[in-house]
Amino acid sequence: MSEPVARTRPPYIAVIGDGDPRGPDSNRILEWAEEVGQDLARGGAVVVTGGLGGVMRAASRGAAGVGGETIGILPGADPAEANEFVRTPIATGLGVARNLVVVTSSDAVVAVGGKHGTLSEIGLALRMGRSVVALSSWRVESEGRLGGPRIHRARDPREAAALALRLAREGPQQPT
Amino acid sequence: MSEPVARTRPPYIAVIGDGDPRGPDSNRILEWAEEVGQDLARGGAVVVTGGLGGVMRAASRGAAGVGGETIGILPGADPAEANEFVRTPIATGLGVARNLVVVTSSDAVVAVGGKHGTLSEIGLALRMGRSVVALSSWRVESEGRLGGPRIHRARDPREAAALALRLAREGPQQPT
Amino acid sequence: MSEPVARTRPPYIAVIGDGDPRGPDSNRILEWAEEVGQDLARGGAVVVTGGLGGVMRAASRGAAGVGGETIGILPGADPAEANEFVRTPIATGLGVARNLVVVTSSDAVVAVGGKHGTLSEIGLALRMGRSVVALSSWRVESEGRLGGPRIHRARDPREAAALALRLAREGPQQPT
Amino acid sequence: MSEPVARTRPPYIAVIGDGDPRGPDSNRILEWAEEVGQDLARGGAVVVTGGLGGVMRAASRGAAGVGGETIGILPGADPAEANEFVRTPIATGLGVARNLVVVTSSDAVVAVGGKHGTLSEIGLALRMGRSVVALSSWRVESEGRLGGPRIHRARDPREAAALALRLAREGPQQPT
């Protein structure tokens, strides 16, 4: 009677970045995040963010503006802290540890700009087998050679979204 | 342009309980969980569970069967572990610590039966200011007198769902 | 050359309870917590707490006063938040989720008084297979019959410490 | 009567890296980790690790061999999983989320080699305001300019330990 729903799950793609970008690049970063959110939603993805301001709000706004689904994984205990473009707020009460949930709940991750919190999410994403697309974000190089998921660099929002949609469809790699 | 979505958020209500109930009561427990899920969805709530089997699956099935929204907060890193009635799986990678997210992301909690994991979720719910409705579940008494959220006992699924919907609308209490 | 150290590990026993007890019973609760800490340390246990005030500070003070080892598992990121009787502070940055670490890092748990946070730790302890000794604390009853670890009631600090030392030596039960 | 103990806390320094290094460099990495542990302990630091094998075991072995204190923050629930050079095992039950506790409980962090888990710990350390010393480890560059804690590169174990001891004494920076 009750029809299963999970089989048709769309790709979940996280957009991570600074919650309060400043400096000369901040407008470009926010515009890019909004375009990434828009393109991801147009491509059929659910956009996952940390639910707060800055890049998180811009990406959610982009996705919501074209009718996309948005999930916000909040650090605090109050769902009302989510920005107004988050459709499904998940209040975790975990503080910084919620960063792990943002990336683990997603099939791929796009980093737009970002500070140390973003770097930690990039590391956690790779650790959990999720590939990362970096747009004007951290450059990270290992001294050794590592298999598994990796960081792909994109030149603009369109390329970032297209890459992430493709990587999400390939599914997670093995955690490493 | 982009229209805010969060203002109209429906109540989120968690249904918690045994992932693999056994013994003479197990059929009744699963039927009750399904009815609770159904009534919560009919009342307009999003049903949040831990996303796995037993009571979690029964409650999700009840909600999905009447067209309701279902969220599954999973302990592992693979969204495919969610039961087939979860519409929005959140893979946390947190193990047991995901119990905190199940209750914190909800406005009220219904416990149907349950073992030690359920007791921990009841405690965490109260700690986070969420009221709990107990249906054939733990009896818990403090030696002192405590203010804040409390455990309400219900006699049947209908009463449990009605109580939870009312408590969720009152909103969370102060964490204690 | 380097000699292994872990083989001779003493029992780790958590003392949990209210961080700021008030009301007519509060003096008795704090005295009892201090006596429990003292007896546990005399019995050779390392005393684990949440590292803050109230029952946590009293138990640490009792243990430190007789030369015992004390560990404080803090919710915040600053080890200086530990009370002055904690020898080994572990700043977790986890907020409420640190409750899981307090009980999981211990072989047995003594609850002295306590509010909702303590109830959540009792539930988490049982869930992780750790037995609990309750001293003037929560009364908890399941409607069904459960195997595995359980809550033992003690009448005074001496009995609580003796019970906990015995339970810790029996080792953890299976998580349930 | 009871004498405060926390005031004289020694620096806590985490050594992070691969739990199972392979390939041509693995012997050098393990030797370096052991030397770092040794030098940190000689310098008066408590050595914090994730408590398991590879770099974690080598660093603990180095510290224990010169009489130093060692703490192991374990992902699982069983303290017996700690390597034999961990004096104080903290079983967290948190899985990958224990990485946050490893770095937050420390005043500074030394990364020796390492894969994606190590990168996540470097990011989390910086996020929590802890400075990082990298020895044959990740190269990480932001496109923007960031204040706060940073990654210092060391050429050999001696330099890494000396740098970390100095950074730990300066104390944590502001989380960013």
C78 touches chain A (CB under 8 A): no
**Site of tokens 């919620």:** A98
pLDDT at B144: 61
pLDDT at C149: 74
When comparing pLDDT for D38 and D142, which is higher? Answer: D38
Contact D120 A124 (CB under 8 A): yes
* A-interface mutation test, from D29, D109, D124, most A Cβ less than 10 A away: D124
* C-interface mutation test, from B99, B143, B151, most C Cβ less than 10 A away: B143
Using an 8 Å CB-CB cutoff, list chain B residues near D93: 95-97
pLDDT at C170: 86
How far apart, in whole angstroms, are the C-alpha atoms of residue B141 and residue C122? 13
Mean pLDDT of A115-128: 93
Mean pLDDT of A113-136: 93
The half-sphere exposure of B13 on its side-chain side, counting CA atoms within 13 A, is: 35
Mean pLDDT of B101-115: 96
Using an 8 Å CB-CB cutoff, list chain B residues near C96: 100, 124, 127-128
Contact A119 D122 (CB under 8 A): yes
How far apart, in whole angstroms, are the C-alpha atoms of residue B117 and residue B122? 9
pTM for this prediction = 0.93
- Characterize D110-140 residue by residue with b for buried, 16 or more Cβ atoms within 10 angstroms of its Cβ, and e for exposed: bbbbbbbbbbbbbbbbbbbbbbbbbbbbbeb
Using an 8 Å CB-CB cutoff, list chain A residues near C95: 93-95
Q: What is the mean pLDDT of chain C?
A: 91
Provide the shortest C-alpha distance from residue B134 to chain D (in Å).
27
Tens-digit pLDDT profile for residues D135-173: 988 888 776 656 667 899 999 999 999 999 999 998 766
pLDDT at D1: 46
Contact B141 C136 (CB under 8 A): no
pLDDT at B143: 62
Which residue in the set C4, C70, C87 is minimally distant from D85, CB to CB? C4
Q: Which residue of B has its CA nearest to C104?
A: B96
* D-interface mutation test, from A124, A130, A131, most D Cβ less than 10 A away: A124
Contact C93 A96 (CB under 8 A): yes
Q: What is the 3-class SS of chain B, one letter each residue?
A: CCCCCHHHCCCEEEEEECCCCCCCCHHHHHHHHHHHHHHHHHCCCEEEECCCCCHHHHHHHHHHHCCCCEEEEECCCCHHHCCCCCCEEEECCCHHHHHHHHHHCCCEEEEECCCHHHHHHHHHHHHCCCEEEEECCCEEECCCCCCCCCEEEECCHHHHHHHHHHHHHHCCCCCC
* A-interface mutation test, from D94, D120, D141, most A Cβ less than 10 A away: D120
Question: How many Cβ pairs within 8 Å bridge chains B and C?
Answer: 109
D121 touches chain A (CB under 8 A): yes
B78 touches chain D (CB under 8 A): no
Tens-digit pLDDT profile for residues B60-100: 999 999 999 999 999 999 999 999 999 999 999 999 999 99
The half-sphere exposure of A167 on its side-chain side, counting CA atoms within 13 A, is: 31
For residue A1, is pLDDT > 50? no
In chain A, where do the E strands start and end? 12-17, 46-49, 70-74, 88-91, 108-112, 131-135, 139-141, 151-154
B54 touches chain A (CB under 8 A): no
Q: Which residue of D has its CA nearest to C9?
A: D87
- Which stretches within A17-156 are classed as H helix? 26-42, 55-65, 98-104, 116-127
Range from B120-129, B150-159, D2-11, D115-124 carrying the lowest mean pLDDT: D2-11
pLDDT at C145: 59
Pairing of strands C139-141, D88-91: unpaired
Tens-digit pLDDT profile for residues A11-43: 999 999 999 999 889 999 999 999 999 999 999
Report yes or no: D2 and C64 within 8 Å, Cβ to Cβ.
yes
Provide the shortest C-alpha distance from residue B63 to chain C (in Å).
26
Mean pLDDT of D19-30: 93
Mean pLDDT of A111-139: 92
Q: Which residue of A has its CA nearest to C99?
A: A94
Mean pLDDT of A99-125: 95
Pairing of strands A139-141, D139-141: antiparallel
pLDDT at A146: 63
CA dist B94 → B37, B101, B168 (Å): 25, 9, 26
Q: What is the dihedral of CA D115, D120, D123, D125, to 10 degrees?
A: -100
CA dist D127 → D103, D122, D146, D171 (Å): 10, 9, 11, 14
D103 touches chain A (CB under 8 A): no
Q: Across A116-120, D12-16, D151-155, which has the greatest mean pLDDT?
A: D12-16
The half-sphere exposure of C118 on its side-chain side, counting CA atoms within 13 A, is: 34
Using an 8 Å CB-CB cutoff, list chain B residues near C17: none
pLDDT at D6: 46
> Residue ranges of chain C with pLDDT lower than 50?
1, 6
Nearest to D74 by CA among D110, D98, D105, D109: D98
**Site of tokens 């709940």:** A105
pLDDT at B139: 83
B8 touches chain C (CB under 8 A): no
How far apart, in whole angstroms, are the C-alpha atoms of residue C167 and residue C107? 8
Provide the shortest C-alpha distance from residue C104 to chain A (in Å).
18
